[in-house]
């Protein structure tokens, strides 16, 4: 993540600053670094955008609490921050501060904005993740209050013109030779105020509702993949479209299989005789146990690859493999007969040492013989 300055430092306020103090600090910076006052100044434009981002977070109670707890990382992927690509985006996002005319009558009507996204989670087994599934998910979002039809006014009443701005929704503040037109603080630009609030939504015009939807999850998804439910998020602003709901996938662990991307891994315990002689065993797969041929002379730690028994690619680009890791188990207890056989085998091994072991023993003897005779370690590269 690119380093970012603390938002409190950007606005020059303390962490315990009130919303009013944060707003006032932002207005001063907006006047100082406004593009109309600093034409062609890229540094001023950057400071203007930086202050706008800081104000967006610190003026929102929920975003501010998240930022205070987690810093900039707490704002990633959770919605709530606008992407300011140019100065006009800031005016659209903060119509309540800049209103319909700023610095010499720069008019900008608030445009429709998409609503915020919401999130939910659903758990899948590894088998469901490999095959795809349809799940029922539940989440909450805000919808227009049915009692007041979104007005926020008590049923039987309606919002009244704002006395502070005369119903215009805008007030003008002087800043030296500049005149800053901002949204009325009493009605927040609506031009109307609710004198008798709707008891069902407390004058907000929106109520929180529980939503249940069916979501189709494609085969091959992994942990933290997000499946989008278009239009199921929060309502948009100024007539804009609603946000989306993102269903975050959580995959349960499997008792025998471990996933790494498209590959699956498992461990199969074998005896020495099974490895030496070769055998047929059952290996765990997503479809249940399947027969697996263990080749003669298999070594501890060998990996036997079974093609096409891994996880499918979520984009349909093939299927991974199953990797069977060989683990040799040494018995801790032996029957009398088993011990006799192993001793016979040990004697046979002493008489007929394998080439690899013979080479190792020879090199080991030569190494310590040379070191004992000369006091120096022999040149192993010779």
In this predicted model, what pLDDT tens digit does every residue of 263-299 receive, in sequence order?
999 999 999 999 999 999 999 999 999 999 999 999 9
The CA distance from 327 to 302, in Å, is 8
The verdict on 271 and 367 lying in the same domain is no
Structure tokens at 213: 């939807």
pTM: 0.59
The verdict on 75 and 58 lying in the same domain is yes
Per-residue confidence at 102, pLDDT binned at 50, 70, 90? very low
Calculate the CA dihedral of residues 94, 104, 171, 82 and round it to 10 degrees: 0
The CA distance from 210 to 199, in Å, is 19
pLDDT of 216 > 50? The answer is yes
Half-sphere exposure of 15 (CA within 13 A, CB side): 6
Structure tokens at 113: 């904005």
Q: Note whether residue 180 is domain-resident.
A: no
The CA distance from 7 to 50, in Å, is 8
The verdict on 15 and 57 lying in the same domain is yes
% pLDDT > 90, the chain: 39
In the chain, the number of structural domains is 4
Full domain range(s) for residue 291: 258-328
pLDDT at residue 72, as a whole number: 80
Structure tokens at 225: 């993949």
Q: Between 19-33 and 42-58, two packed helices, what is the crossing angle to 10 degrees?
A: 170
- For the stretch 315-346, pLDDT in tens is 888 999 999 999 999 888 989 998 898 888 88
Question: Any idea which of 43-57, 101-115, 132-146 has the lowest mean pLDDT?
Answer: 101-115
Are the C-beta atoms of 264 and 321 separated by less than 8 Å?
A: yes
Q: Output 126-130 pairs: Cβ under 8 A, ≥24 positions apart.
A: 126/251, 126/252, 126/253, 126/254, 126/257, 126/259, 126/286, 127/286, 128/217, 129/217, 129/219, 129/220, 129/221, 129/222, 129/249, 129/251, 129/311, 130/219, 130/220, 130/286, 130/311, 130/312
Structure tokens at 349: 């091994």
The CA distance from 305 to 261, in Å, is 15
Q: What is the CATH number of the domain that holds 85?
A: 1.10.287.110
Strand order through the sheet with 118-124 = 118-124, 245-251, 226-229
Q: Note whether residue 174 is domain-resident.
A: no
The verdict on 321 and 269 lying in the same domain is yes
Q: Note whether residue 188 is domain-resident.
A: no
Q: Note whether residue 170 is domain-resident.
A: no
Are the C-beta atoms of 106 and 199 separated by less than 8 Å?
A: no
Q: Note whether residue 244 is domain-resident.
A: yes
Strand order through the sheet with 258-260 = 258-260, 263-270, 322-328, 303-306
Q: What is the CATH number of the domain that holds 119?
A: 2.60.260.20
Per-residue confidence at 79, pLDDT binned at 50, 70, 90? very low
Q: What is the DSSP string of 331-364?
A: PSS--HHHHHHHHHHHHHHHHS--HHHHHHHHHH
Q: Residue 281's beta-bridge partner residues? A: 292
Q: Average pLDDT, stretch 243-256?
A: 94
Q: Residue 245's beta-bridge partner residues? A: 118, 229
């Amino acid at each position: 993540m690119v380093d970012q300055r603390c938002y409190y430092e950007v606005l020059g306020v303390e962490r315990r600053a009130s919303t009013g103090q944060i707003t006032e600090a932002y207005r001063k910076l907006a006047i100082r670094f406004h593009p109309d006052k600093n034409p062609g100044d890229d540094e001023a434009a950057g400071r203007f955008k930086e202050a706008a981002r800081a104000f967006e977070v610190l003026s929102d109670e929920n975003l501010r609490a998240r930022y205070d707890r987690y810093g900039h990382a707490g704002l990633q992927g959770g919605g709530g921050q606008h992407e300011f690509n140019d100065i006009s985006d800031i005016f659209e996002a903060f119509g309540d501060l800049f209103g319909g005319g700023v610095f010499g009558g720069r008019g900008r009507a608030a445009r429709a904005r998409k609503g915020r996204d919401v999130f939910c989670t659903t758990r899948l087994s590894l088998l469901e993740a490999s095959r795809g599934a349809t799940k029922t998910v539940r989440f909450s979002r805000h919808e227009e209050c049915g009692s007041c039809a979104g007005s926020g006014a008590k049923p039987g009443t309606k919002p009244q013109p704002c006395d502070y701005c005369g119903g215009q929704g805008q007030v003008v503040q002087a800043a030296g030779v500049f005149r800053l037109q901002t949204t009325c603080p009493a009605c927040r630009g609506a031009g109307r105020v609710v004198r008798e609030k709707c008891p069902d939504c407390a004058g907000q015009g929106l109520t929180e509702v529980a939503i249940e939807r069916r979501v189709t999850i494609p085969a091959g998804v992994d942990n933290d993949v997000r499946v989008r439910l278009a239009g199921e998020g929060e309502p948009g602003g100024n007539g804009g479209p609603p946000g989306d709901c993102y269903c975050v996938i959580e995959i349960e662990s499997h008792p025998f299989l471990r996933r790494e991307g498209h590959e699956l891994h498992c461990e199969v315990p074998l005896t020495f005789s099974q490895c030496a002689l070769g055998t047929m065993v059952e290996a765990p797969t997503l479809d249940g146990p399947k027969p697996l041929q263990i080749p003669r002379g298999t070594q501890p730690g060998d990996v036997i690859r079974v093609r096409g028994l891994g996880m499918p690619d979520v984009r349909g680009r093939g299927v991974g493999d199953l990797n069977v890791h060989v683990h040799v188990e040494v018995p801790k207890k032996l029957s009398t007969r088993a011990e006799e056989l192993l001793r016979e085998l040990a004697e046979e091994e002493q008489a007929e040492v394998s080439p690899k072991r013979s080479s190792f023993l020879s090199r080991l003897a030569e190494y310590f013989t040379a070191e004992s005779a000369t006091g120096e370690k022999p040149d192993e590269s010779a």
